[in-house]
Amino acid sequence: MRYMNLSIREIHDAILKGEVTPLELVKEAIESCKKDDNNSFEYICEKEALERVNKLDPSKKDSLLFGIPVVVKDNYSTKDIPTTGSSNILNNYVPIFSSEVVLRLEKAGAIVVAKSTMDELAMGGTGTTGHLGITYNPWDKSKTHLIGGSSCGSASSVAAGIVPFSIGSDTGDSVRKPASFSALVGFKPSWGRISRFGLFPFATSLDHVAYFTRNVDDSAIVLNVLAGRDDKDFSSSFKPVEDYTARLNEPVKGKKIAVIKEIVESISNVAIKEAFNKNITALKEQGAIVEPVSIDSKLLKAIYPTYILISCAESTSNNANLDGIKFGPREPGESFEEIMTNTRTKGFSRLIKRRFVIGGYSLLRENQDKLFVRAQKCRRLIVNAFNKILENYDAIYCPASPTAAPLISGSSDTLSDEYLIADNYMAFANMGGFPSITLPLGFDGELPFGGNLTGKPFDESGVLSIAKVIENATGLKDLVAKEGK
Ligand code: GLN
């Protein structure tokens, strides 16, 4: 019997019934990590996980995450466990403290079994730019299509049934996009809802803790553990937490859902259009009020360039500490300037360097007004437009991507006019700090695609309750790639 392809709740019940022990679960997960052929892992924590599972306090077994294996993206600090951000500039770096997310998981009894591969330093959306190379999509046996990124290894490990949930991070769509390409639920709660202490900063004003599960219930269960104020993160909210499982069975009758007309119209994939329309019909049949709403397409087209400018500027500044002096490997040099130059030249890939050039350029005093400050103004206009919609609607619902997983060979992170709207719009939820969830919507041939639902800040419970109705309507949950649809 395999357990790692079951839901968190099912595994929890199996532990309570005495069918399986946490040690057996950890062994099963570690064995599957070792057999993984999708390049999902930076580091398998075999020794550390076995030590931890043996120290679990049995009196805590009522916690839903007690004894449940989890994979964590390699940009979360883990004490005494290597953490590289999939970048050569942090090879062999071992943090001396753990991120708050990892501490809360451990407190709840979850066991970190591996650190997952990612696009280098979380910049990118393809799952191909980390220092260990391409991470593959378990749904694609030909290994020719992306899983997407930047949280690629966290997505592939849940999609392949290695663990029931995993932690990623989402600055533009880095959990919600790969979730779409791998038939998973990817949830990014509100900015401030989950502490980012110990998460390597990419673009602080946009970075969110986010995670993958295979169904909506599990997503609520994980949020119950992760949400809440942390004094170590000044941006963490004082807003009281809720029981995020409480409203999961709320009916959708009378709720108002906006569909952004311009986003849907920019999609030509027939399978996606059909599945989306069918889902909308099901929501309406249950009494939801689903209406098309317009946003100026100039504003929608501005989301990606605005995102790139702000995120590159913030990441250039945030990553200035990766200089070969404070962390990681150090290249030789006659002066500390030379050491830094040599270390950074060797340590970062082309993609990262390109983004630092964009960031540095936009932050130059003579360019700031024209680029960085202008991008901030654009961000405000974009957020205002979505806030205006959310004043009248409970949530915004659209397909999460214009296609199923694209070919690896055609992937790039440069601007493309063709997919500028539908491929990149989800960053609006990072700009506004909105809770936003992707969940399975259908299949185009063998490859999955998802829908994305975004709600008002701190209305996680509302978003999850509508997501559950969508999930019930599609019937697509608990999907594991190896077993097929
Ligand atoms: N694809 C986006 C980028 O290239 C998103 C990255 C993210 O969310 N971390 O930056």
Q: Say which CATH number the domain at 153 has.
A: 3.90.1300.10
Residue 402 counted as domain residue:
no
pLDDT digits (tens, 9 = 90+) for 330-361: 999 999 999 999 999 999 999 999 999 999 99
Residue 379 counted as domain residue:
no
Q: Identify residue 421 by its one-letter amino acid code.
A: I
pTM attached to this predicted model: 0.98
**Whether the predicted pLDDT of 13 surpasses 80:** yes
| pLDDT at residue 450, as a whole number | 98
| pLDDT at residue 414, as a whole number | 65
124 CA: nearest ligand 1 atom: 4
Lowest mean pLDDT among 172-176, 325-329, 364-368: 325-329
Q: Which of 189, 9, 262, 4 is nearest to 113 (CA)?
A: 4
151 CA: nearest ligand 1 atom: 9
| pLDDT at residue 214, as a whole number | 98
pLDDT digits (tens, 9 = 90+) for 208-241: 999 999 999 999 999 999 999 999 999 999 999 9
Does ligand 1 come within 6 angstroms of the Cβ of 45?
no
**What is the share, in percent, of the chain residues with pLDDT greater than 90?**
95
Residue 394 counted as domain residue:
no
Give the residue-averaged pLDDT of 313-323. Answer: 97
Residue 470 counted as domain residue:
no
| pLDDT at residue 413, as a whole number | 65
Residue 128 counted as domain residue:
yes
Residue 93 counted as domain residue:
yes
Which tokens is 104 given? 């809360």
| pLDDT at residue 420, as a whole number | 78
How many folded domains does the chain comprise? 1
The catalytic residue positions are 73, 150, 174
Give the residue-averaged pLDDT of 285-294. Answer: 98
| pLDDT at residue 206, as a whole number | 98
d(CA 223, ligand 1 centre) in Å: 22
Give the residue-averaged pLDDT of 249-267. Answer: 97
Which tokens is 426 given? 């989800």
Substitution candidate for ligand 1 out of 74, 118, 121, 123 with most atoms within 8 A of CB = 123
Substitution candidate for ligand 1 out of 119, 128, 177, 428 with most atoms within 8 A of CB = 119
d(CA 175, ligand 1 centre) in Å: 9
Q: What is the DSSP letter of 471?
A: H
| pLDDT at residue 416, as a whole number | 64
413 CA: nearest ligand 1 atom: 4
Residue 466 counted as domain residue:
no
| pLDDT at residue 485, as a whole number | 44
Find the helix or strand (DSSP H, E) in which 292 lies.
Answer: strand 289-293
| pLDDT at residue 484, as a whole number | 44
Residue 287 counted as domain residue:
no
Which tokens is 420 given? 């500028």
By the 8 A CB rule, do 165 and 70 touch? yes
Domain that holds residue 187: 8-252
Substitution candidate for ligand 1 out of 173, 208, 211 with most atoms within 8 A of CB = 173
